[in-house]
C-alpha cells in the first residue's frame, strides 16, 4: 500500500493538470467562430505590446496582468460575455493558455488561438492601437 500511494497521488496530480487543458483553435477557425456571434476574441498581452504590434481587428484588449490582479477590466467583461465562448491569444500562446486554463476552471468555455503572429500569418485583419488604454 505504501508503494501505491505515491503512484495514486501522481495520477491525481496528472489528471487535475489535464482537466485544465484548454483546446487550441487555429486563427482561421477562431475567425469563423467569431462570425457566428457565439464567441468573443481576447488579446491578453500587455498595453505596450498592443501599441507595438497592433491587435486582431475583432479583439477585446484585456491584459493578463489585470486578470491576475484587481480584474478591473476582466470582471465587467466576464459578466457581459455570458455564455459566449472566449477565444484568447497572446504573443506565443503561453499566456493565453494560462488565462484560458484559469477561466476553464471557473466554468467558462474557452479556446486558445495561440499567438498574434499566427493571426497575422493567417492573413486575418489587424488594427493599430494608438492609445493603449483602448479596449474596444
The model's pTM is 0.83
Interval 27-65: pLDDT, tens: 999 999 999 999 999 999 999 999 999 999 999 999 999
Interval 95-130: pLDDT, tens: 999 999 999 999 999 999 999 999 999 999 999 998
- Three cell numbers at 6? 505515491
Distances (CA, A) of 80 to 48, 88, 107, 135: 25, 16, 15, 14
**Burial readout 45-73 (b: 16 or more C-beta within 10 A, e: otherwise):** bbbebbeebbbbebbbbbbbebbeeeeeb
Handedness of CA 136, 102, 111, 63 (dihedral sign): positive
Q: Cell numbers 504590434 correspond to what residue? A: 53
**Banded pLDDT at 1 (limits 50, 70, 90):** very low
Interval 73-94: pLDDT, tens: 999 999 999 899 999 999 999 9
Task: List Cβ neighbours of 109 (8 Å cut-off, separation of 6 or more).
Answer: 83, 84, 85, 86
- Three cell numbers at 83? 455564455
Cα 75 to Cα 43: distance, rounded to the nearest angstrom: 15
Can you list the domains of the chain with their CATH numbers?
21-127 (3.40.250.10)
Amino acid at each position: 500500500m505504501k508503494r501505491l500511494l505515491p503512484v495514486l497521488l501522481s495520477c491525481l496530480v496528472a489528471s487535475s493538470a489535464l482537466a485544465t487543458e484548454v483546446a487550441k483553435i487555429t486563427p482561421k477557425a477562431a475567425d469563423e467562430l467569431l462570425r457566428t456571434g457565439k464567441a468573443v476574441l481576447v488579446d491578453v498581452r500587455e498595453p505596450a505590446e498592443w501599441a507595438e504590434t497592433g491587435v486582431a481587428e475583432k479583439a477585446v484588449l484585456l491584459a493578463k496582468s489585470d486578470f491576475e490582479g484587481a480584474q478591473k477590466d476582466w470582471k465587467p467583461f466576464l459578466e457581459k460575455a455570458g455564455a459566449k465562448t472566449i477565444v484568447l491569444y497572446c504573443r506565443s500562446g503561453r499566456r493565453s493558455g494560462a488565462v484560458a486554463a484559469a477561466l476553464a476552471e471557473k466554468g467558462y468555455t474557452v479556446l486558445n488561438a495561440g499567438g498574434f503572429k499566427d493571426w497575422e500569418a493567417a492573413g486575418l485583419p489587424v488594427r493599430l492601437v494608438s492609445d493603449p488604454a483602448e479596449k474596444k
